[in-house]
Amino acid sequence: MAKIRPSQGAPYARIMGVGGYRPTRVVPNEVILETIDSSDEWIRSRSGIATRHWASDEETVAMMSIEASGKAIADAGITPEQIGGVIVSTVSHFKQTPAVATEIADRIGAGKPAAFDISAGCAGFGYGLTLAKGMVVEGSAEYVLVIGVERLSDLTDLEDRATAFLFGDGAGAVVVGPSQEPEIGPTVWGSEGDKSNTITQTVPWDDYRNGTPDKFPALTQEGQAVFRWAVFEMAKIAQQALDAAGITSADLDVFIPHQANMRIIDSMVKTLKLPEHVTVARDVETTGNTSAASIPLAMERLLATGQAKSGDTALVIGFGAGLVYAATVVTLP
């Protein structure tokens, strides 16, 4: 029996660079209030959101991804030709096939990398990061581009009082490459499919095609059920990620949770008993919930504003539709 040669990748992987893109149009709560019976005070108190970004026709999933990717590649100090893998997490690329990752890879000049899309909702960045780490360590790619991108304004029912104010658009990207030290910890991830109906699309595409109903599909959720799950169950997952990395909350410099809701973020901070010195990402206030894009966008803003610095130890956790989740500890680029 022939022996297969073992893979020869890097000992470890790390995030080398990060980039983000936010659409130029900023949408305040006042615009949302044109179609729902609510108030700016109610929206802020329930979600912490004051503004969000909505994409124009020109700001497509591919275009936003390319802009974010260019910044991440430059930040990593490599060239596009060195990219051996492109992973895109999105639920709002409406073309079923081919994967938008292939278009992005071509347009950034990456050559012929492995390129594919994944659908893991708001945990999608964590899923992509874990896959990229595996590719680098396994040796199938030296550098992997991970993109989280959404145009959730296309899937928002502006007459739904429970969700109309939540969602925004944008793209975040990171480059994952080789490291001599462990800078991306073990991932704690999973799913609870018995709760999949708590965050879902109103109707499948084929129902809409058949004319039942005649209203375009949108995102819907059971707000209270999602809140309870995120606060209590995801705090446990976050703690498991700290344990897996062999550190405690006192060792953290930064906490970057999925930017779903300010109340969820604040409750997780309290449940995890994070020390006061830990910087907490609260990008949701001005960006809204951008699903797979929220963690890299928040990471990029923290670094750009000096609230976090290169070399900081950060806990990242994404959670959402599925219900799926992914948490890990990383060293910031």
CB atoms within 10 A of CB 147: 31
Question: SS3 of 198, please?
Answer: helix
Q: Which of 153, 167, 122, 171 minimizes the C-alpha distance to 216?
A: 153
Residue 178: CA count within 13 A, CB half-sphere = 15
- What are the residues whose beta carbons fall under 8 Å from the beta carbon of 159, sequence distance 6 or more? 35, 36
| Token reading at 175 | 């480059």
Rounded CA separation 122/51 (Å): 19
Describe the strand order of the beta sheet including 83-89 as a list of residue ranges: 12-21, 169-179, 143-151, 83-89, 114-118
User: E strand or H helix at 245, and its extent?
Assistant: helix 234-245
The structure tokens 């059971």 sit at 222
93 an active-site residue? no
Calculate Rg over the CA atoms of the chain.
19
User: H-type helices in the chain, by residue range?
Assistant: 29-32, 40-47, 61-76, 100-107, 124-138, 205-209, 223-228, 234-245, 262-272, 284-287, 294-305
Residue 136 token pair: 């680098």
The catalytic position among 29, 53, 261, 289 is: 289
- Secondary structure letter of residue 259 according to DSSP: -
| CB of 300 closer than 8 Å to CB of 19 | yes
In single-letter form, the type of residue at position 33 comes to L
Q: Does residue 178 contact residue 144 with C-beta atoms inside 8 Å?
A: no
Indicate if 122 belongs to the active site: yes
**Active-site residue (options: 29, 53, 93, 122):** 122
Give the β-pairing of 114-118 and 83-89. Answer: parallel
- Residue of 210, 258, 261, 277 with catalytic role: 258
- 161: how many CB neighbours lie within 10 A of its CB? 14
Residue 277 designated active-site: no
**What residues are labeled active site?**
122, 258, 289
